[in-house]
Amino acid sequence: MIWDHALWHWTSLAWLVALVWVALYLIVFRRAAVHGLRSLVLGASLMVLAFVSPIGVLADGYLFSAHMVQHLLLLLVIPMCLLLSLPKEKMAQWFENARLDRAGRMLSHPVPGWVCGVGAMWLWHVPVLCSAATQNAGIGCLRDTSFLLAGLAFWWPIFAPVQRYRLPPLSGISYLFSACIGCTLLGIYITFTTITVCPAFANPVDRLHVLTSLYDAGLTPAIDQQLGGLLMWVPPCSLYVGVIISLLCRWYSNTETVTPPESPGGYGRPFSTSAK
């Protein structure tokens, strides 16, 4: 069923958005490192996947679980790829500007980023808003844009291209751990509540004539909501744990190298605590 032509939205505007991202990146950062371009292409590819593939088609009023996958890509994965693609040297030059530096420092504060990242997911799963965004294209576009912007704000204190805007490793760990708790609570609520979290998915209109196949596969609206809750619960925390491990490695590598007081001759030098 996944290869059914009806389940692919080949005319989606996501193609245009992805191509504009790549084109602007190549124009602005002509000498960007290869790994930065790879991160951007990955983010652009996931953008296309989120809207062109069956994920995007089924998220449009058919499966709450597909809707959840799409939103996790928009909120967590794609913004992270975009930030990781930014060349550090070029961005450091840009943020020498006083206004940009002020904006960078504001974004580096953990509270706004945390509220944007966790709050956006909670807000758009209020039943009336969730249904409205699913049934109305304009509201849906607003929701998707807000996810991307909220994701950029959320990841900025962790992956900002300028080092001074990043949280210290231990603070970053607390930031991500608390975000994991926020996603877990929402996931538990969606998984175990008897309330229909997004009524638009309770009685979908079978425009593509695929509901019989979906229900035969066991994806009834109740089971679909439980699956969506699990997707809200497990993958985000797995991602957070992966980033937490990277922060722990960074913190450990920083503590491995210390600088002793200068010797009388003034030639103090760094040394490894593991040196014999």
Q: Is residue 181 part of a domain?
A: yes
Alpha helical stretches, state H, the chain: 14-28, 34-52, 54-59, 64-72, 78-85, 88-94, 98-108, 110-123, 127-135, 137-159, 169-192, 211-216, 221-256
Q: What pLDDT sits at residue 1?
A: 54
- State the DSSP code for 262: P
Q: What is the number of structural domains in the chain?
A: 1
- Domain containing 175 equals 5-88+107-253
Q: What are phi and psi of 195, to 5 degrees?
A: -80, 140
Mean pLDDT of 96-116: 95
Band (247; pLDDT cuts 50, 70, 90): very high
Q: What pLDDT sits at residue 272?
A: 42
Distance between CA atoms of residues 259 and 36, nearest Å = 32
Q: Tokens in use for 40?
A: 């951007």
**In this model, does residue 239 exceed pLDDT 60?**
yes
Instruction: Report the first-to-last Cα separation within the chain, whole angstroms.
Output: 63
Q: What pLDDT sits at residue 257?
A: 57
One DSSP character per residue, 131-197 reads HHHHH-HHHHHHHHHHHHHHHHHHHHHHH-SSGGGSPPHHHHHHHHHHHHHHHHHHHHHHHH-SS-S
Q: CA quadruple 126, 117, 106, 149: dihedral positive or negative?
A: negative
**In this model, does residue 256 exceed pLDDT 70?**
no
Q: Is residue 143 part of a domain?
A: yes
Q: Is residue 205 part of a domain?
A: yes
**In this model, does residue 49 exceed pLDDT 60?**
yes
